[in-house]
Chain A
């Protein structure tokens, strides 16, 4: 079974802090994704990566950056956290075949005070 893990289940940070969310997958998937999910807005794609050191902006990249130095690890960085970034953050991975199914991690509930 594919396993996608995220570094924290719950996280509380202060406005202006730099925040790192880590995601690791163990199935050698080429593609990794970061989403945020908010009530009424559904899943929104922040960034994705289709290879090591490669990244593409999603629908809402503003205020975020990503890093993928190793195939199994994809990090989401909030450079200066703001209250409107309070959300559920979900990481997912998939094989390289375009349109292939994505497998999700358990999510990180981030609260920015």
Chain B
């Protein structure tokens, strides 16, 4: 069973703060890692992907990958109320075409 664990939240942060979302995975064969954002009633939208250990930055978003410890995280700097959503992590491996998704962490950014 390829498990992906995320804290369901809700994670509440004040506007302007850094939001930190974490995800652990069990499959050591995982090669690619993704973060999706899902607003209520909408479909998931890809916001970040990372393949190598270390940090990857895109605007206010930073993805961090540590394959040895089997975790991936997403940092959102200068959080805005519009960042309030559920964030899903997902990973892919060489053993299949499908991605394995976590159940998501609900983020609430309060003004």
Query: A residues within 8 Å of B by Cβ?
Result: 31, 33, 40-43, 45, 48, 50, 56, 58, 90, 94, 96, 98-107
Contact = CB atoms under 8 A, between A and B. Distances in A.
Interface residues of B, number: 25
A94 B32 CA distance: 13
Given A33-B98, A42-B101, A94-B97, A101 B49 contact: yes
Contacts of A45: 98
A101 B98 contact: no
Contact of A99 (B32, B42, B44, B101): B32
A101 B43 contact: no
Contacts of A31: 97
A19 B31 CA distance: 36
Contact of B97 (A50, A90, A106): A50
A51 to B, nearest CB: 10
A8 B44 CA distance: 17
A94 B36 CA distance: 15
A43 B97 contact: no
A107 B44 CA distance: 9
Interface stretch (B60-68, B74-82, B88-96): B88-96
A42 B103 contact: yes
Nearest to B101: A43
Contacts of A40: 103
B43 A98 contact: no
A99 B43 contact: no
A100 B32 contact: yes
Contacts of B43: 90, 104-107
B34 interface: yes
Contacts of A100: 32, 92
A90 B93 CA distance: 21
